[in-house]
Amino acid sequence: MIRRPSWLPDYVPELDGLRGIAIGAVLLYHCQERFAGTPLHAVVEWGWAGVNLFFVLSGFLITGILLESRGRERFFTNFYARRALRIWPVYILLLVLYYIAVPWIFSGFWWAWHETKSAPWLHYAFFVQNLFVLALPGAIGPTWSLAIEEQFYVVWAPITRFLKPSVLIAVLIAMLCASPFLRMANLPFSSTHTLFHLDGLAVGSLIAVSLRTLQWSERVWRRITIAALMMGSCGAIALLYRGSAFSDSFLALTFGGMLLAAVLGTKRRSVYGSALKWAPLSFLGTISYGLYMTHILMFSLIGAFDRRMDAYGIAGNLAVVAVRLVVSITFATMLWYGFEKPILRLKKHFSASRKPAAPAPEMALEPAAGD
């Protein structure tokens, strides 16, 4: 039976903070060449792991929504419509900006036409660009992880709807265990292929299912949190710079522990919880989807400034990082208030009540950004 434990709150503001950490890590990672020669470089070059944190959050949030909607009317219609409203508008806007608007403004109509004709539109339309070895432009690069998310929504919703929770747990454990071995198998797939990036989604989803079905006490979950943090972080550190196929799995466990610590600590005062609820970090998490999708495009549009700063060494590099962050965050903020947020209001048309009972709250499980 699906039942949320009494100690699991309806709203977890700390999750926005975790999103903020994830997007901050990704932003700095894409500036890593500008940190060369500074002590921060060794830290920043691990920023790619922010995508793994996004996957853990997405698995947790999406699976929670699906489980608590199992008995509701229009299950599939509501779920997919709400996902489309969250994902598609910014995605389509990015494609239009990159392939049509920016080339037209800077190079004229004919170059825009050339760019538009050369784009792999069929791959973009079906969210399968990550499954093939495609030379995606840098500004469109982040869409590989979005494609994984979309494939996850399509496949996981019916599985969650019809399979028993015990079977779901078994499937998720199998996914987590199989992931590193799939990476070791030297399959002739793209490095962004979905089969190589199941760890985070599996861990987040496993937490969501287990919380609602195993009915363990809060104390037990605290012990699990500590174990996940210790195993995950120790494993990731042990494999530091070795490029092991198990690195992503250990990182997923670490991020799962961070997520559980946020959920368990939301009603208690703690340094960790206060840090995650820090207003700038929380806001960064709120705008994280638009920021993730558009930041490389913003970086490229200020490329002339980058080149001028090359002559100033480390000081110039740090100036480039600062300007990149300001420009990309400013654009994402405008995108959130002027584009994303108004569209998200349409979600109210896709909320069905349970039958026959009244609907339970979605517990802040409706992802705020990017999940």
pLDDT digits (tens, 9 = 90+) for 149-177: 999 999 999 999 999 999 999 999 999 99
Count the neighbouring beta carbons within 10 Å of the beta carbon of residue 336.
22
**Structure-token pair, residue 187:** 């399959």
The tokens 């005062």 sit on which residue? 269
- pLDDT of 158 reads 97
Using one digit for the tens of pLDDT, what is the confidence trace for 2-33? 888 888 887 899 999 999 999 999 999 999 99
- The reported pLDDT for the residue numbered 111 is 83
- Collapsed DSSP state (helix, strand, coil) of residue 354: strand
Neighbouring C-beta atoms of residue 170, cutoff 10 Å: 12
3-state secondary structure at position 371:
coil
CA distances from 356 to 73, 158, 164, 281, 359 (A): 10, 21, 21, 40, 9
- Helix (H) or strand (E) run with residue 164 in it: none
CA distance 358 to 195: 38
Cα–Cα distance for residue pair 368/114, rounded to 1 Å: 36
pLDDT tens-digit series, residues 271-327: 999 999 999 999 999 999 999 999 999 999 999 999 999 999 999 999 999 999 999
